[in-house]
Amino acid sequence: MMTAVIEASGLGKAYRRTWALRDCTLAIPEGRVTGLVGPNGAGKTTLLRLATGQLAPTRGTISVLGEPPAASPAQLARVGFVAQETPVYARMRVADHLRLGAWLNPGWDDELAQRRIGQLGLDPRQRAGSLSGGQRAQLALTLALAKRPELLILDEPVASLDPLARREFLRSLMEAVAEHGTSVVLSSHLVTDLERVCDYLIVLVASRVRTAGEVSALLASHYRLSGPRRDTGTLPAGQDVIEESHTDKQSTLLVRTGEPVHDPAWAVTPVSLEELVIAYMNPANDLPAPRPQLGVAS
């Protein structure tokens, strides 16, 4: 059984009367790049803040690397975090940020940090406030990577970057994963970013988890069926309808199933990740309950 880097059970967080996150049960496997996708306000930031210990749960439990979040400086050292908008100290120089990392982190790898800064072409004497958005994001990533965490959590790190800066950031991130085998959890509201880099996906909409699983398993278990008009109640038991649309003569369905589709009446086509996520994100779709974690034995 694969160990989970983040485990949540019935996790919920409420502010006064509204639930930012509800009934969240997850087991994010290690050694993966996990994408957390959903519309703005769906609860992604809340989930990540619960994982880093910035927030305490209202209900349920969450454990990170086997311990409660931010349980001790030792546990904090094992988890790297890059917050939304990748904050840096505007008046401090790039070099000072690296010293900050060295002072506060017992596991700080200064050689890695200096090497990355050099590769990125950042001027150590430059004040962080005058860096471009992409450079700031790379600096924040350097700080998170150089403490050599087992798990790296990033909250919408590329949301406000231009396409080139975005690609460079993800490239940097993937190089680090290739080199160190770090588990990564990153959130985004752009699916196209995640397709390249994620092999595990969680779809979060309106404070609930709509689906979660290995990307390859998700793609292998969802199909688009189109054929003559049909009542969805007539479908075999193993096929769950995620999305449906009907004209007077034709039905088009997006189904989730564990078995190949044998009915010759259907034209069966694979579904792209983006189509899959959009279908799960669409509030108009009445979704069946999420399957037990695909690809991770419970």
Partner 1 sequence: MIRLTWLQFRAQALIAAAALAAFGALLAATGPHLASLYAASGITGCHGGTCATAASGFLSKLAATSPYPIMYVLGIGLILAAPAIIGIFWGAPLIARELETRTFALAWAQSITRTRWLAVKLTLTGLAAVAVTEGLSLMYGWWAAPIGQAARLGYSGQPVGMGPFSLPAFDAHGITPLGYAAFAFTLGVTAGVLLRRAVPAMAITLAIFAAVQIAFPLAIRPHLFPAHHTSAALGSYNGTTHVSGSDFAFTVDYLPSQPGAWILSSGAVNAAGQPVSTIPAACAKMPAGGPGMLPCLTSQGTRVAISYQPASRYWAFQATETAIYLALALVLAGYCFWQLNRRTT
Partner 2 sequence: MIEFQLDETSGVATYLQLVQQVHQALRMGMLEPGDQLPTAQQVVARLAINPNTVHKAYRELEREGLARARPGLGTFITRSPSGTDPATQARFLTAMTEWLRTARSAGLGPDDIEAIYRTAFRACFAEGAA
* Residues engaged in binding partner 2 (CB under 8 A): 31-33, 167, 170-171, 174-175, 177-179, 192, 195-199, 216, 219-220, 223, 260-264, 268-270, 272
> Which CB atom, from 23 or from 199, has the smaller least distance to partner 2?
199
- Residue 277's binding partner, choosing from partner 1, partner 2, none, with beta-carbon cut-off 5 to 8 A by kind? none
| Least spacing, CB of residue 104 vs partner 1, in Å | 4
> Which CB atom, from 74 or from 190, has the smaller least distance to partner 2?
190
The stretch among 102-110, 163-171, 190-198, 245-253 that binds partner 1 (CB under 8 A) is 102-110
> Which CB atom, from 103 or from 231, has the smaller least distance to partner 1?
103
**2-to-6, 149, 164 alpha-carbon distances in Å:** 12, 19, 35
> Which CB atom, from 40 or from 234, has the smaller least distance to partner 1?
40
| Least spacing, CB of residue 195 vs partner 1, in Å | 27
- Size of the chain in residues: 298
Residues in 143-162 that interact with partner 1 by CB under 8 A = 143-144, 147
User: Residue 157: what are its φ and ψ, rounded to 5°?
Assistant: -70, -25
**Which runs of E-coded beta strand occur in the chain?**
4-15, 18-29, 33-37, 59-64, 79-82, 151-155, 183-188, 200-205, 208-214, 222-228, 240-246, 250-256, 267-270
In the chain, DSSP finds a helix count (H) and a strand count (E) of 9, 13
Taking each helix axis from N to C end, the angle separating 110-120 and 133-146, rounded to the nearest 10 degrees, works out to 160
Binding letters toward partner 1, positions 162-201, x by CB under 8 A = ----------------------------------------
The stretch among 47-55, 240-248, 268-276, 286-294 that binds partner 1 (CB under 8 A) is 47-55
Secondary structure (3-state) at 191: helix
What is the spatial distance between Cα 122 and Cα 136, in angstroms, rounded to a whole number? 10
Residues in 103-132 that interact with partner 1 by CB under 8 A = 103-107
> Which CB atom, from 74 or from 267, has the smaller least distance to partner 1?
74
| Least spacing, CB of residue 6 vs partner 1, in Å | 16
| Least spacing, CB of residue 27 vs partner 2, in Å | 18
| Least spacing, CB of residue 226 vs partner 1, in Å | 46
**293-to-27, 29, 272, 282 alpha-carbon distances in Å:** 8, 10, 20, 21
User: How many other C-beta atoms can be found within 10 angstroms of the C-beta atom of residue 297?
Assistant: 8
User: How many other C-beta atoms can be found within 10 angstroms of the C-beta atom of residue 118?
Assistant: 10
> Which CB atom, from 122 or from 143, has the smaller least distance to partner 1?
143
153: β partners: 81, 185
Residue 200: both structure tokens together: 């595990």
- Residue 77's binding partner, choosing from partner 2, partner 1, none, with beta-carbon cut-off 5 to 8 A by kind? partner 1
> Which CB atom, from 90 or from 267, has the smaller least distance to partner 2?
267
Please calculate the CA angle 75-81-86 and round it to the nearest 5 degrees. 155
> Which CB atom, from 84 or from 285, has the smaller least distance to partner 1?
84
Burial class (CB in 10 A: 0-12, 13-18, 19+), 194: buried
Taking each helix axis from N to C end, the angle separating 110-120 and 94-104, rounded to the nearest 10 degrees, works out to 160
Q: Site residues (CB under 8 A) for partner 1?
A: 15, 52-56, 70, 72-74, 76-77, 80-85, 87-90, 92, 96, 99-101, 103-107, 140, 143-144, 147
